[in-house]
Amino acid sequence: MKIFKFIYYIFIAFIVVIALLLIVSTFPITGNFKVLTVISGSMEPAIKTGSVVVVKPENDYKIGEMITFGPYSKTKAPTTHRIYDIKVVEGQVIYITKGDANNAPDGREIQKKDVVGKVLFSVPFVGYAVYFAKQPLGFALIIIVPAAIVIVDEIKNIYVEIKKKKKTDDVEKTDQ
């Protein structure tokens, strides 16, 4: 029975972590940190598809650093690529980027204002769970499954307590 309790706690911990990552990736965090999910393989092997990346804005970016850039909305995901080259055009810094898995640099030049931030670190495969949790079915499962497990566990505990109470009541009746 202890193995089931252990699995139960691991499952609940997993759900809590996914829920926290869902919240963190949806709402802004103090310090301008952003948690984003990588949905393509253009940065493999450095960043695997399905990873979560933590991004923070910086004042300057250097060649070789991984940055996240582009629109950031519910319908458009930003891109995370490595800075391949930097040039200055009319006083404006322009970044030329390239995905590690891509053969050529990106055709689009990135202005500094379009950069979301520098990638601080990534956590492989956790993004799949966060991405799933953002879907209606995944969100429902994150709420319904843990709630059902807690409710069933509590009903079981109540049942055990009622049995104990009934047993002590029966013993008291026979003693009288």
57 lies in some domain:
yes
CATH number, domain of 130, equals: 2.10.109.10
12: pLDDT strictly greater than 70: yes
Tell me if residue 54 falls in helix, strand or coil. strand
163 lies in some domain:
no
- For residue 145, the tally of other CB atoms under 10 A from its CB is 12
148 lies in some domain:
no
Q: How far is CA 3 from CA 9, 11, 46, 109, in A?
A: 10, 12, 37, 55
Q: What are φ and ψ of residue 6, in 5° steps? A: -65, -45
d(CA 12, CA 153): 12
CA dihedral 17, 19, 24, 25 (to 10 degrees): 110
Nearest to 83 by CA among 62, 59, 103: 62
Nearest to 53 by CA among 128, 130, 124, 122: 122
Nearest to 34 by CA among 64, 72, 87: 72
- Which one is predicted more confidently, 34 or 158? 158
119 lies in some domain:
yes
Domain that holds residue 17: 2-134
In tens, the pLDDT along 70-107 reads 987 777 889 999 999 999 999 899 999 999 999 999 99
* Count of domains for the chain: 1
- DSSP letters of 93-150? EEEEEE-TT-SS--SSEEEGGGEEEEEEEEETTHHHHHHHHHSHHHHHHHHHHHHHHH
7 lies in some domain:
yes
167 lies in some domain:
no
- Residue 130: DSSP 8-state: H
159 lies in some domain:
no
116 lies in some domain:
yes
pLDDT of residue 176: 60
- Record the pTM: 0.67
Place of tokens 């002590």: 168
In contact, 120 and 54? CB cutoff 8 Å: yes
pLDDT of residue 129: 80
pLDDT of residue 36: 86
In tens, the pLDDT along 120-158 reads 999 898 888 877 877 888 877 777 777 888 888 899 999
